[in-house]
Amino acid sequence: MNRTLFLLFLALTAIFSSVPCQAQERQRFDGGMMVHTGYLHGNIKALDYEAKGPTFGLGGVLRFHLGNHFRVGGEGYVSTLRQMGNGSYIRTSWGGLLADAYWRFDRWQPYIGLTVGGGKTSTLLMFDGSDDDWTPEPNAVLHNGSFFFVNPNIGVEFALTHAIHLTLKVDRLITLTPAEMPTGARVYVGVLFGH
């Protein structure tokens, strides 16, 4: 899936690179949806369980432009890391306030930013059994927890038109409170609409 998303991003970039782009006027706001993936790992100390693997998720962002180089707004995402192949998972949802700085080079718009906020983890681990029967699972653990975080990110946007941009972003959640959750970098691909 990572390769498919990246190839789609490159193909759209190549196609629209040949289309003339009108002079970029300053936008007042933008927002859109992004899918993401990444490889997470970490030890859940309470269970002495090493969680690792690819995660997939979805979310979105809304930003208001301040001048020609700064934006503020909010974003939120849900990411699921499947475990053991039996329906077990670690699901992380988070959201917060963001600020970023961007620079414009013709159609390209690199940016760097930071999000601060809170989130929740929901962990279901079944050490025996399966999710495709109606049998009670005696050796399973369900745990919900919350956390506060900072989330540095770096990315680039490509203007298909003045109002429609493709975006590619990398980030990493850094928890500020103790959290029993795997961590790692995530890569996001999405479409943003501005006005």
Concatenated DSSP letters of 75-111? EEEEEEEEETTTTEEEEEEEEEEEEEEE--BTTEEEE
pTM: 0.84
Residue 115 identity (one-letter amino acid):
T
User: CA-to-CA distance for 82 and 152, rounded, in angstroms?
Assistant: 25
Dihedrals phi, psi of 160, to nearest 5 degrees: -70, -45
pLDDT digits (tens, 9 = 90+) for 125-150: 999 877 788 888 889 999 999 999 99
User: CA-to-CA distance for 116 and 149, rounded, in angstroms?
Assistant: 6
Residue 186 identity (one-letter amino acid):
R
Confirm if 91 and 84 have CB atoms less than 8 A apart.
Answer: no
63 closest CA partner among 167, 172, 185: 167
184 closest CA partner among 42, 84, 61: 42
23 pLDDT more than 60? no
User: CA-to-CA distance for 145 and 150, rounded, in angstroms?
Assistant: 17
- The pLDDT of 59-81, averaged and rounded, is 97
How high is the pLDDT of residue 25?
A: 64
Structure tokens at 28: 């007042």
- The pLDDT of 86-91, averaged and rounded, is 95
User: CA-to-CA distance for 171 and 121, rounded, in angstroms?
Assistant: 18
19 pLDDT more than 60? no
Q: Is 125 helix (H, G, I), strand (E, B) or coil?
A: strand
pLDDT digits (tens, 9 = 90+) for 141-189: 999 999 999 999 999 999 999 899 999 999 999 999 988 899 999 999 9
User: CA-to-CA distance for 76 and 119, rounded, in angstroms?
Assistant: 9
Q: Is 45 helix (H, G, I), strand (E, B) or coil?
A: coil
The answer to which of 20-24, 37-41, 150-154 has the lowest mean pLDDT is: 20-24
How high is the pLDDT of residue 135?
A: 86
8 pLDDT more than 80? no
Q: What are the angstrom distances between the C-alpha of 79 and each of 26, 63, 91, 105, 184? A: 33, 21, 6, 32, 12
